[in-house]
A and B are shown apart, each in its own frame.
Chain A
Amino acid sequence: MDSPLLPHGVKRCTPGVFFLWTLPWLALLAWGGLSAVLCLWKGLNQTNMSNVFAFALWIVFDLAVIGLGAGAFFTGFLTYIVGRKELKSIINTAVVIGFICYSGAMAMLGIDIGQPVRGWFIFWHANIHSMLVEVSFCITCYLIVLAIEFIPLILGNRQISKVKELRLLGHNLHEIMAVFAATGTFLSFFHQGSLGGMFGVMYARPFAAREGFYIWPWTFFLFVLSAIACGPCFTILCTKLAEFLGRKKLVPDDAIQFLAKMSGWLLALYMVLKTFDYLGWIYGVVPRAGLTFMDFFNEGPYGVWLIVAEMIFCGFLPAIILLTPAGRKSQGWLILASLLNCTGIVLNRFLFIIVTLAVPVMPFDRFWGYLPTWQEWGIGLAVIGYGFLVFSLAYRYLPMFPKETELNPLPVE
């Protein structure tokens, strides 16, 4: 039925099967839609956020997806600025994933700020000394860049490209993509960094506070590094999932291997610097705040195991696998390493957001627990549903994998 819309020379499932595949994601979107309406209509009392937990599940999701979506800017930088030609077979996927992550995060923030009609205040009445303002500016601008990078792919649809004006527009956009990729790299560097800097400057919260260089705490640089170390792995994971579900190869091995190797080196560098960061924090910031490392873990469910999991199992272990040629060439090990790498960044963001706010700071403070309501889960999971839906639609109708026909030639009838 929709075969005229499918890319040339590729095989896709029937529209009926595709519709069934989208049902769970549509259900998640419906759940998120209902939650959003309740939050906008009745207010943020629909959530378990409070004066203590002003940052909660949505911000964990936000920071996690923004970190995972960093594959878009980093792959764009390597493709268009550094000139790695093999990445042209995966750059479209990275852009789609980046667009999904950033637009999903922005939608979630629209609910999180409580009064979206006043959302523009942060741009017009900007407090330029706020890291969050820098984040807002850069994320918004970068989402525009991602949309621009996504447009040529949409215009590459088989039917749309028949319209001469649109085809030319797509080609011309593609030709100056290096300008947008460079702008995106600049914007991403600053917002990924400021997201980390935001926690590092919380001097009243010793669990998050860090020393640093000039106005930037070390977390500024560590967040950038962790994002570019993990973003490519998330792109690999999504590609591998699409290959598994489609039962075909979509991206040549050289692109995957290059991204995996790059990710491995960056992750290894990140882990070394993160180890120094933890040591500097344990023996510097924490004692100066009149605390010891174990004071943070006296109450509540959050223990040292979280840091061990972040550093050892989701940090050093995937770095070693990705740096070992045999490890990253094995499909199973590559997927495991990518999964652990992505879990590590989520765990890192969780530690900085939730544990920072939960652990007591003053002697008379107590541990604050927080469990999200179903409305909070609904909006968070809707981003996942939205992601699956957009990625599936892009895979079905757009030339997202330019090497697909070459890697999977259709049998001659």
Chain B
Amino acid sequence: MTPISFEWQWNIEYAVFFGLLYVALGLIGGGITFVAIRTALQVFGFMRERDFHD
């Protein structure tokens, strides 16, 4: 459900519930996007590959 869905209600409960959901989804999506861009930059030589230690 999004704010443009017909069932959406503009009140604090919807804002908190979906706000937290979208924050979580945003962090997951943002993290994946960051990793994908960084990997692409490293693959194409625009960014140095960092030494990786466990």
Q: Is the interface of B mostly helix, strand, loop or mixed?
A: helix
- Interface band, chain A: 20 to 34
| Distance (whole angstroms) from the CB of A252 to the closest CB of chain B | 14
User: A350 → chain B, closest Cβ, in Å?
Assistant: 30
Interface residues of B in 12-53 (CB under 8 A from A): 13-14, 17-18, 21, 24-25, 27-28, 31-32, 34-36, 38-39, 42-43, 49-50, 52
Say whether B14 contacts A128, CB under 8 Å.
yes
B3 CB, min distance to chain A CBs, angstroms: 13
Whether, in the assembled complex, A179 has its beta carbon less than 8 Å from a beta carbon of chain B, the answer is: yes
Q: Report yes or no: B1 in contact with A124, Cβ–Cβ below 8 A.
A: yes
Quote the shortest CB–CB distance from A217 to chain B (angstroms): 18
B13 contacts which of A123, A128, A148, A165 (Cβ < 8 Å)? A128
- The answer to whether B24 touches A186 (Cβ under 8 A) is yes
Cβ of A402 within 8 Å of any chain B Cβ, yes or no, is yes
State how many angstroms separate the Cβ of B44 from the closest Cβ of chain A: 10
Task: Convert A148-182 into 0s and 1s, putting 1 for each residue whose CB lies closer than 8 angstroms to a CB of B.
Answer: 10000000000000001100110111111001101
- Minimum CB–CB distance from A194 to chain B (whole Å) comes to 12
Q: Is the CB of A183 within 8 A of B27?
A: yes
Q: A128-B14, A137-B21 are in contact. Are A164 and B35 (CB under 8 A)?
A: no
User: In this complex, what residue of B is CB-closest to A123?
Assistant: B1
15 residue pairs of the A-B complex, CB under 8 angstroms, read: A88-B54, A126-B1, A141-B21, A141-B24, A141-B28, A148-B32, A164-B43, A168-B49, A169-B35, A171-B52, A179-B27, A179-B31, A182-B27, A183-B24, A183-B27
